[in-house]
Amino acid sequence: MAVDTMAELVTFGETMLRLSPPRGTRLETEGELDAQVGGAESNVAAAASCLGVDAAWCSKLPANPLGRRITRALRGHDVTPAVAWDDSDAARLGTYYLEYGADPRETTVVYDRANASITTVDTNELDTEPVADAEVFHTTGITPALSDATAETTRELLDTAAEADTLCSFDLNYRSKLWSQEAAAIAYDSLLSRVDLLFAPRRDAHRILGYDGDAEAVARELAAEYELDAVVVTRGADGSLALVDEAVIKEGIYSDETVDAIGTGDAFVGGFLGELLTNGDGALTPEHVETAQAYAAAAAAVKRTITGDVLVSTRAEIESVLADESAGISR
């Protein structure tokens, strides 16, 4: 499927159907499940669109009502789907089940995504022109974990972007239920040389890639090893640290009040890319990165207050968080 308009940001990955019982109930006993749509890369595109970016998401989906539900939902978030449709008898959509926990019971996720249509994706099925025409191409470490086909397509799309001077953005986003630490390390090592901007949770950089030390040390080692233009190391409640042009930029968090934490990291990345593209012309300079990092933190804080995977917000609301004007009741 071709993208009708030129997108500033193009993302690539899997989007799934999320099914959740009400809080305080169990999957094994509850009769009703709430359905949401979400996936790391489409969540990033949706968050960036909240800041005014023209965003597109490419993937492969089953040519059935479940696949159409995904594209309908993403259009509702002002994200343009660019999808290869799978009309085979084996076509299926990945699903995951989320059961909310409360101390001392943890929130749990059960995946049912094996052999989803995206696991058979081939670059030749996709419209790669939007990737070459975009200012930023973004994907995550989740996508190459799904299958050999998604890993190869990820590499080829990163190459397509790089050849067109499209900025390549990547989030490590390690998922232990998808692959081993050893397999992830090998894949990351082959992909990161193709990347310009890296988002690296500190725990992933340590556990998977073996980088020790504080966030600044990790950022410097990653930047040197893979010749990255910029690295953003996220540190949970300690905020984030960015390294660009030898400048070190630290950003805290605005609030950790949480309704639903799923998708918070994606909102952070989407907020960063959204502001970088809107007011920074996609340029990785210390000044632009500092501003983008602040918008990222505000977007993440807003996402925590929203049920579902996707940030639903506006530039005005995010900027009210930046100005510390959002507490209380809007009258």
Helix, strand and coil percent figures for the chain, each rounded to 5: 40, 20, 40
Beta-carbon count within 10 A of 81 CB: 22
Q: For residues 157 and 201, give the distance between their C-alpha atoms in angstroms, rounded to a whole number.
A: 23
**Could you tell me where the beta strands, DSSP code E, fall in the chain?**
9-12, 16-20, 34-38, 55-62, 79-86, 95-99, 108-112, 136-140, 167-171, 197-201, 230-234, 240-244, 247-251
Q: Are 319 and 291 in contact (CB under 8 A)?
A: no
Q: Are 320 and 76 in contact (CB under 8 A)?
A: no
Beta bridge partners of residue 102, listed in sequence order: 105
Q: For residues 192 and 223, give the distance between their C-alpha atoms in angstroms, rounded to a whole number.
A: 10
Q: Are 20 and 98 in contact (CB under 8 A)?
A: yes
The conformational region for residue 78 under phi > 0 = left, psi -120 to 50 = alpha, else beta, is: left
- Whether 159 sits among the annotated catalytic residues: the reply is no
Q: For residues 317 and 326, give the distance between their C-alpha atoms in angstroms, rounded to a whole number.
A: 8
Q: For residues 18 and 109, give the distance between their C-alpha atoms in angstroms, rounded to a whole number.
A: 10
Give the active site residue among 54, 196, 229, 266. Answer: 266
Q: Catalytic residue numbers? A: 266
